[in-house]
Amino acid sequence: MADPLVPRPPGTPCVIPLFTNQSFDNLSGPVPFNYAPAAGCPGPWQKVVLSIDLGIVGTNQFDRTGSIWLGGAILYFGTTQEPTIAPPNPTTWHIERDVTDYSALFGTNQIGHADLTNYVEGPYDGKITGSAALYFYPPVDGVRQTPQPRPDVVLSMNSNPANGTYALNTTSSQYVATYTSLPRNIERAYLDVYTQSQSNDEIWYSCNPNDQGQLSFFGCNNTAFREAEISIDGQPAGVAPVYPWIYTGGTGNPWLWEPTPGVQTLSFVPYRVDLTPFAGALDDGKSHTVALSVFNANQYFSVAGNLLLYLDHGSRQVIGAVVSNTLSAAPIPKVVENLTYNSSNNVTGGKITVTSNRQFAITGTVITSHGVVKTQVAQTVAFSNAQDYSLPANSEGENIVQSSTVDSTTTRTEGWKKTIVHEQHSYPLKLDLGYFQQPDGTYQQYSDVKDQEFKQSVEVLSDASPPVAAVVDNQFVGNNTILWDSTGQNVTGITDTHSRQAYTYNDTFGACYSRKIASKNNALTSWQDGGDCWLGLNSLSWRDRFSQYASKVYGATLQLLP
């Protein structure tokens, strides 16, 4: 993969294994483990890194979903590689996550578990083994005196710390967390959200309106629009776009993802929802609910969430309220069908589009030990999906062009000081799928991923500080063709397989990372580092000066590096 590893501070970390050489080849449920802080390694830490190593041995296996939990909070969520190396040698992969924001979990004994259900039966003989550990890096001289702010409290949405992800089957399904004893001095609140598509919803971006569900390459309904909705005590509180992750068996074509998987396939990045306008409402000492749903869910989405709280350390009691809220409970997507039919009233081609556009602003105030603070979160959320169909006899072609964007401006006013954070997310997807009968009666199936991308930018503006910004872009492009016999049941060959991944990052402080990799016929053919950076060199510091500076100016974590 082209993704960067987590830049690590100097010094020797304390290492706490969570599990080692653990087999995930049974159906007995999650693998439990116990966590205890390392003696002589107290916080605060400069950085905490979750390191995961996984491997699969076998000739065949489906992609599987894995997650790691500690104290009920989710630390990792992703899917697995399929075997690409002949046994007895394993296909291996390595994952790293900066989990410093979850430091509040790591200071006390906790129970945890790893969940990776892997069915080993019949031809699916791939066996998965893995290890995971937390690396705690001590403060570095000169940095400890002014650490960037981190959440004081991390709470799972699960009431039982032994539970895992939650399944949302329909629009009305809700994942509800009830908090009976929240701190009464909350100043900021955020929710890290994961929404992973499964089963009928796995390839949701190819789904159609219910009256045309049979047209979809994968036969799914409820249109191609999905969106996560967050509410607090029944009041709309935020929106999270659903990223179109494609797993290593995705698009019905596992060979396309060898050796390079799609964007974030092996390690999902959560979407952080700013709930700060509700901080004052959460401070009243009463019980509160936080709920997550997925609009148009259709069997099903696997979801998880962590609630992150920043406290006012100068006060035992913060009071405040939501001043205004224009967010509606649900979007109102628009569907347009422009299809052609033959004399038998069967669809022969045409286009189906679904769009959703809305703007909202939520404003709240809190009275803190350092004065009255007003926070407004204003967002424009836009989605469009267009599917072009070509449906000759015994064949099907589907071209998908999708755009999902969030343009967010958060304004925090404290006395004379105003800080503005402008953040943009963009998730383009262009995908051509086809299954066509050839003149000799055989079939060809092609998957052409023209663009799968994750783009995010953050700009921080303050009356008291110069503006700073950071941008990250992760893109996958690839295609291949599967040859089938005349029965359409047996693969006779794989051709035209190639892929490219490009990952870039840069910020105001001169940090830059650029890596481009390419493969052909399932083998790596090129690797370029630093091509888009000054002097052709990658330059990522463990300090992450953008995150250090922007987070201190804003008062909460702002970070784009992994």
Residues 133, 279 share a domain: no
pLDDT for 530 = 96
542: left (phi over 0), alpha (psi -120 to 50) or beta: alpha
Q: Are 410 and 421 in contact (CB under 8 A)?
A: yes
Q: What would the pLDDT profile of 270-314 be if each residue is shown by its tens digit? A: 999 999 999 999 999 999 999 999 999 999 999 999 999 999 999
pLDDT for 456 = 98
Residue 562 in any domain: the answer is no
Residues 170, 182 share a domain: yes
The CA-CA-CA angle for residues 165, 166, 170, to 5°, reads 145
How far apart CA 138 and CA 40 sit, in angstroms, is 11
pLDDT for 144 = 52
Q: What would the pLDDT profile of 425-451 be if each residue is shown by its tens digit? A: 999 999 999 999 999 999 999 999 999
The count of structural domains within the chain is 2
Task: Give the residues across from 412 on adjacent strands.
Answer: 375, 419
Residues 286, 199 share a domain: yes
Task: Give the residues across from 188 on adjacent strands.
Answer: 310
First to last CA, the chain: 14
Task: Give the residues across from 265 on adjacent strands.
Answer: none
Output the pTM of the full model. Answer: 0.96
pLDDT for 134 = 98
DSSP 170: S
Residue 511 in any domain: the answer is yes
Residues 358, 327 share a domain: yes
How far apart CA 330 and CA 322 sit, in angstroms, is 19
How far apart CA 67 and CA 117 sit, in angstroms, is 10
Task: Give the residues across from 459 on adjacent strands.
Answer: 422, 469
pLDDT for 3 = 97
How far apart CA 312 and CA 187 sit, in angstroms, is 6
pLDDT band at 94 (very low <50, low <70, confident <90, very high): very high
Residue 530 in any domain: the answer is yes
How far apart CA 384 and CA 386 sit, in angstroms, is 7
Supply the range of the domain harboring residue 50.
Answer: 1-144
Query: The domain spanning residue 103 has which CATH number?
Result: 2.60.120
Residue whose token pair is 């296996």: 61
Residue 244 in any domain: the answer is yes
In the chain, % of residues over pLDDT 90: 88
pLDDT band at 356 (very low <50, low <70, confident <90, very high): very high
Domain boundary among 144, 170, 194: 144
pLDDT band at 23 (very low <50, low <70, confident <90, very high): very high
In the chain, % of residues over pLDDT 70: 99
Residues 541, 428 share a domain: yes
Tell whether the model's pLDDT for residue 145 goes beyond 60. Answer: no
Tell whether the model's pLDDT for residue 143 goes beyond 70. Answer: no
Residue 300 preceded by cis peptide, ω within 30: yes
Handedness of CA 233, 237, 239, 240 (dihedral sign): negative
Residues 298, 226 share a domain: yes
CA 181 → CA 288, 305, 333, 487, distances in Å? 9, 18, 38, 62
Residues 121, 75 share a domain: yes
Residue 559 in any domain: the answer is no
Q: Please state the φ and ψ torsions of residue 213, each to the nearest 5 degrees.
A: -60, -30
Residues 182, 117 share a domain: no
Q: Please state the φ and ψ torsions of residue 337, each to the nearest 5 degrees.
A: -110, 125
Residue 560 in any domain: the answer is no
Residues 238, 112 share a domain: no
How far apart CA 216 and CA 291 sit, in angstroms, is 31
Q: How far is CA 241 from the centre of its chain?
A: 10
Residues 227, 123 share a domain: no
Residue 561 in any domain: the answer is no
User: For all residues of the chain together, what is the average pLDDT?
Assistant: 95
Pairing of strands 301-311, 271-274: unpaired
pLDDT for 465 = 86
Domain boundary among 110, 144, 178: 144
Domain boundary among 102, 129, 144: 144
Residues 155, 54 share a domain: no
Tell whether the model's pLDDT for residue 324 goes beyond 90. Answer: yes
pLDDT for 167 = 98
Q: What is the 3-state secondary structure (H, E, C) of 222-271?
A: CCCCCEEEEEECCEEEEEEECCCCCCCCHHHCHHHHCCCCCCCCCCCCCE
How far apart CA 53 and CA 47 sit, in angstroms, is 19
Q: Are 100 and 47 in contact (CB under 8 A)?
A: yes
pLDDT for 216 = 76
Residues 506, 447 share a domain: yes
pLDDT for 214 = 78
Q: Please state the φ and ψ torsions of residue 294, each to the nearest 5 degrees.
A: -125, 115
Q: What's the average model confidence in pLDDT over 346-357?
A: 95
The CA-CA-CA angle for residues 227, 205, 382, to 5°, reads 45
